[in-house]
Amino acid sequence: MKQPEVIRLPVTHPRYLALKYCLKTFRKVTGRVLDVGCGAGVMTKEIKRLRPDFEVYGIDSSPEAIELAKKDGGEVNFRVSDTYHLPFKNDYFSAAFSHHVLEHLKRPGQALAEIARVTKKGGKIYAAVPLEGNWSSIHAFFYKIPAYKKMRVRYLAHVQQYSLEEIKKLFGENGFLITDYYWSGGLVMQTINFFYYLSASFLKLPPSFLTGNDLLIKKRSGYGRWGTIAKRFFYFLVTLESLFIPRVPQEIVHLAGRKK
């Protein structure tokens, strides 16, 4: 099945750019595709909807997230699994992807090596990773302040702060060749993100109050009219900002590559 030239999603969709770059990477892919760290399956299900010819699998270490994903999972195969020990045989998938996962892992190299094991030689890889240690992220400067780093880890659980060179090297050392990359998360997103979590810390809000991951978003019954409008306007701004400058370094890198 040929991928359409235009991804038919509104720019207010929270995964617009990730889906755009992922499907561009997977344009010539056929067969099985794996989402590593799928959460409640937001992106996993969109991939299946936009490419119904794919046999899509999603794994996550959270039983609660997988339970939510399965409720309206359609034809996606969701499983509870440790990222470091995938329950699949060697060379099982034609492609694999992860969206904002590697920054949470204490042993990202082991996880990537395991993804490489279950991916066919020449199979495609896509990953979206925030590079909070890169010069293009305002957080790279503030992470030098121990209290700020502690706050970010508490709210976001980002235990890794990569630079572009570090993340490319990590993929290269664990079975993948990065062939291209794009950027998102410009100054508008970074500024809003900076003050959002700083305010949450100042107000002593618990991490569970914030809606920064698919699982929490899925569980919320709704944002209310004005909350929904504000959320969509935020996604519109940050997507539009990055859509026209995909080659300009920002905070989030979208890596495209293949298994060696």
The Cα–Cα gap between 69 and 73 comes to: 6
Angstrom CA distances, 183 to 115, 187, 244, stand at 23, 12, 10
Burial of 204 (0-12, 13-18, 19+ CB in 10 A): exposed
Tell me: pLDDT of 212 over 60: no
Tell me: pLDDT of 227 over 60: yes
For the chain, give percent helix, strand, coil, nearest 5: 40, 20, 40
Share of the chain above pLDDT 70, in %: 90
pLDDT at 118: 98
Mean pLDDT of the chain: 90
Residue 154 CB coordination number (10 Å): 13
Give the type of residue at 82: D
DSSP string, 184-217: E--HHHHHHHHHHHHHHHHTT--GGGS--SHHHH
Own/partner long-range contacts of 4-7 (Cβ < 8 Å, ≥24 apart): 7/50
CATH number assigned to the domain with residue range 16-259, chosen from the 4 options 3.40.190.10, 3.30.1370.10, 1.10.3720.10, 3.40.50.150 = 3.40.50.150
Q: Each residue of 141-198: pLDDT tens digit?
A: 999 999 999 999 999 999 999 999 999 999 999 999 999 999 999 999 999 999 989 9
Q: What is the mean pLDDT of residues 14-27?
A: 95
Q: Work out the pLDDT band at 224, boundaries 50, 70, 90.
A: low
Checking DSSP bridges between strand 55-60 and strand 32-36, what pairing results, if any?
parallel
Q: Each residue of 55-83: pLDDT tens digit?
A: 999 999 999 999 999 988 779 999 999 99
Contact (CB, 8 A) for 93 and 31: yes
Q: Work out the pLDDT band at 217, boundaries 50, 70, 90.
A: very low
Backbone φ and ψ of 179, nearest 5°:
-105, -20
pLDDT at 255: 98
pLDDT at 3: 54
pLDDT at 250: 97
Q: Where are the alpha helices (DSSP H) in the chain?
A: 16-25, 42-50, 63-71, 108-118, 139-142, 146-156, 164-172, 187-202, 214-219, 225-243
Domain residue ranges of the chain, discontinuous segments joined by +? 16-259
Residue 205 CB coordination number (10 Å): 13
**C-alpha R_g of the chain:** 18
Q: Work out the pLDDT band at 233, boundaries 50, 70, 90.
A: confident
pLDDT at 73: 73
Q: Work out the pLDDT band at 216, boundaries 50, 70, 90.
A: very low
